[in-house]
Structure 1
Amino acid sequence: MAGLVPNILGATITTFAVALLALTLRMVALYLTRRPSFYDDYLCIFAFIFASGYCTTILIWTSHYYLGQFLPNVDQDKLGFILGKSRQLLWIIELTYAASIASSKFSVLCFFWNIFNRSSIRWPIIILFLTSSLWVIVRTFIVIFQCTPVPYIWDKSIQGGKCPIDISKFFFGTVLLHCIMDTVIVMLPIFPVLKMQLSQKRKAAILALFTSGAIVVIASVFVLIESIKYDPHETEITYHVAPNMLWAAVEVNMAVFSSKMLSKTTTLPAFKILASNNFARLSP
């Protein structure tokens, strides 16, 4: 193995292990606190399942179909097979990526709603719910039906197949919107927390809890940068798409980690202690 393979394996496996650890700790916290599961818990599990699908597909592509490497010097039939499998795996990756990211978004927004549903950010939370729902529905639909018939996405030998959508521009647009939404979600709790009558240290502690998703925003920025470079007609797709896949793996896994850290089970008890009397005015 050469090229970007060590980078892909390192980023994918390491961040997946972090997400798995966060899920384990959350399940332990649920058991120890004897708290019932909430919607954010279930959404976290869905996010982890889709992230697992994403990472599994990345590992299969890397180990069997040259992701992160330049294409080998083989006959045209073998080359066509590798490219076909690469396009098919990329299609699966795009579906699991959107599903995992959306589930993580919904989990965090559910948590925010439980705390801030009577605060000034109530309507922004609702708007973000609706925007995220529309984002994942439209993106999933376009990814599935970007070509007609659908198998033409990976099998270019199908007669009469066509891809009327500029998928490169579409991916850039959806990633840009998703990056903006992530930034807004991270910033949402800042305003009500700053209004609380607490010491600066306690405000900083609470904000640190809520801004743990900043690393997801950073990863999504790198995904956005790599999306600009994406060319669906690139013959060396296995190598040139690898940085995008790498950063997207970091993003989905850290989004799972962030959503697991922001939960009523693991965060709310600490938040109540820090916020004291202010908490009563922020939630029912």
Structure 2
Amino acid sequence: MVACRGTQAIVTLWGIATLFVTFLLCQPLAFNWDRAIPGGYCGDQLASWKSAGVVNILTDAVVLTLPVYDLSKIQMATYKKVVLIAMFALGIFTTAVGIARLVAIVDVDFGDITSGAT
């Protein structure tokens, strides 16, 4: 229970921090999509996105592994336990998408992020 509450707190706080960084990294906010604004600047967007990706992957892995121990102790037929754990393990696809996203971030052109082209 403590591990669940701790993980919940970490994920919540990290989500709030990522939201703030996303909105405050470029000043003024419109500089994210209009680089012609005089005096506008952005922090290191690539580092911000990479760190968010790494922490998201780590928290996904923690969330995936949390129920396994408790599920293994449930009193039911072994094949049902295996199926139940396998259903929870399908969340590994979320982690795989996070890893693919992190790899793809390297190719992002922050000079014109709204164009969608890499």
Aligned partner of 2:39 in structure 1 is 160
Residue 29 (structure 2) pairs with residue 137 (structure 1)? no
Q: 3-state SS of the aligned residue for 2:37?
A: coil
What is the number of equivalent residue pairs in this alignment?
Answer: 118
Structure of higher RCO (CA pairs closer than 8 Å, 6+ residues apart) = 1
The residue type paired with residue 107 of structure 2 is K
Aligned-residue offset at 1:143: 0.9
Q: 3-state SS of the aligned residue for 1:189?
A: helix
Q: 3-state SS of the aligned residue for 1:229?
A: coil
The residue type paired with residue 212 of structure 1 is L
The aligned runs of 1:121-270 (5 Å cut-off) are 122-163=1-42, 165-233=43-111, 238-240=116-118
Aligned-residue offset at 1:140: 0.8
Alpha-carbon RMSD across the aligned residues, in angstroms, is 2.0
Q: 3-state SS of the aligned residue for 1:188?
A: helix
Are the counterparts in 2 of residues 168 and 231 from structure 1 also a CA contact under 8 Å? no
Aligned-residue offset at 1:185: 0.8
Q: What percent of counterpart residues are identical?
A: 21
Are the counterparts in 1 of residues 33 and 112 from structure 2 also a CA contact under 8 Å? no
The residue type paired with residue 145 of structure 1 is L
Distance 2:97 2:7 in 1: 20
Distance 2:40 2:102 in 1: 29
Distance 2:116 2:90 in 1: 32
Aligned-residue offset at 1:125: 1.0
Are the counterparts in 2 of residues 152 and 158 from structure 1 also a CA contact under 8 Å? yes
Distance 2:6 2:109 in 1: 33
The residue type paired with residue 141 of structure 1 is F
- TM normalised by structure 2 equals 0.87
Unpaired runs of 5+ residues, structure 2, are: none
- How has the CA–CA distance of structure 1 residues 234 and 151 changed in structure 2, closer, same or farther, with 3 Å as cutoff? closer
Q: Which one has a bigger Cα radius of gyration?
A: 1
Distance 2:37 2:74 in 1: 62
Aligned partner of 1:48 in structure 2 is none
The residue type paired with residue 27 of structure 2 is T
- TM normalised by structure 1 equals 0.39
Deviation track 1:153-178 (CA, whole Å, cap 9, x = no partner) reads 11112111111x10101100001100
